Amino acid sequence: MVRTAVAFSPGHISGYFMKVAGESPATTGSLGAGIVIEEGVVASASAAETIEVVVGRRDTEGAVLSEASGSPPVEYALERLDVSARVETRCSLPIGAGFGLSAAALLASITAVDALFDLGMDRRGIAALAHEAEVVHSTGLGDVAACQGGGIVCRTTPGPGGEIRRFYPEEAIWAVSFGPLPTPEVIGSQAQIERIAAAFPEGCPSDLPEFFRLSRAFAGRSGLVPPEVGAVLAACDAAGVRASMTMLGRGAFATGDGAEEVFSRFAPPIPLHIAREGFRLLEVRA
């Protein structure tokens, strides 16, 4: 049997964010608030002749939905570590749809490779490299910082070493997705970044209703809501359901009575759970 290290990282839905451009990837990132979700990425790493990344999506019963080869940010991280490994990532949520799966794939992959080759990295080092890969590939700004722990997260300074407040509600979260919204196109556009900054709310939410209120106000002002998501949010508003847009994906998330029913009028509702913990090693099989 091939020695294999397996690691997990939760995903992250941003409710609102604002880009902070620094001089290097380490000082570049975002401020904002979001939900760390238990539905993330499992990465399995084993030694190989060359770097190879296989990206799999399975449904909650384990049936294969898609399998593709290659992940530029994960390959970047493996090259930076100068390791030759085959990494298989597995998730159930749609990729590129605002569930922070690029960050989750990076954190899980680097954690697995660190254990596989006994690189002796600490959590800070793993997060720093994952964040660097996100910024270099424009796949995320604040998701790595968030996925170091669980809960509802408010990030008040940028980067994985930034200040983060967390609280841990028990409520169920629902999501609907209509597909991806390319993160690089949004965070690479100066006009979009300025409009997003103008929509950014001050302060941190102290409870779940306030998090939804701030996220919904941000979504409305951000200019980012596509028509199909706008229709879902309007139906939620009419039904008194707390909801907002998954940043950055063509989808919405919601909580409370009526959330599942309103979402089901548009697309199959996806049940999500607020994570209690951040990324971690699961096992090393000899």
Residues 56 and 15: their CA atoms lie apart, in Å, by 26
Among 7, 116, 126, 141, binds ligand 2JD (CB under 6 A): 141
Distance (Å, whole) CA 34 – CA 182:
19
Reference 9, options 94, 122, 126, 152; nearest CA is: 126
Is residue 135 a contact residue for ligand 2JD (CB under 6 A)?
no
3-state secondary structure 121-179: CCHHHHHHHHHHHHHHCCCCCCHHHHCCECCEEEECCCCCCCCEEEECCCCCEEEEEEE
Say which DSSP state 201 is in. Answer: P
Residue 153 interacting with ligand 2JD (CB under 6 A): no
Nearer to ligand 2JD, 142 or 205 (CB): 142
**Residue 4 Cβ vs ligand ADP, minimum distance, rounded to whole Å:** 17
Q: Does 14 bind ligand 2JD (CB under 6 A)?
A: yes
Binding-site partner at residue 81 among ligand ADP, ligand 2JD, none, CB < 5 to 8 Å by type: none
Question: Considering only residues 245-284, where is the footprint of ligand 2JD by CB under 6 A?
Answer: 247-249
Residue from 89, 102, 222, 255 that binds ligand 2JD (CB under 6 A)? 102
Cα gap 81→184, rounded to integer Å: 24
C-alpha closest to that of 41 among 70, 8, 85 = 8
Q: Shortest Cβ contact with ligand 2JD: which residue?
A: 142
Interface residues with ligand ADP (CB under 6 A) are 41, 55, 71-74, 89, 91, 95-102, 105, 139-140, 182-183, 249
Compare residues 77 and 187 and give the one whose CB is closer to ligand 2JD. 187
Task: Give the residue with the Cβ less far from ligand 2JD, 85 or 225.
Answer: 225
Stretch that binds ligand 2JD, among 38-46, 199-207, 241-249, 275-283 (CB under 6 A): 241-249
Candidates 30, 44, 109, 148; binder of ligand 2JD (CB under 6 A) is: 30
Instruction: Judge residue 238's burial from the number of C-beta atoms within 10 Å of its C-beta, 0-12 exposed, 13-18 middle, 19 or more buried.
Output: exposed
Q: Any long-range contacts for 119-126 (C-beta under 8 Å, 24+ apart)?
A: 119/81, 119/83, 123/148, 123/279, 124/160, 124/161, 126/279
Residue ranges that bind ligand 2JD, judged by CB under 6 A: 14, 17, 30, 32, 98-100, 102, 139-143, 183, 187, 247-249
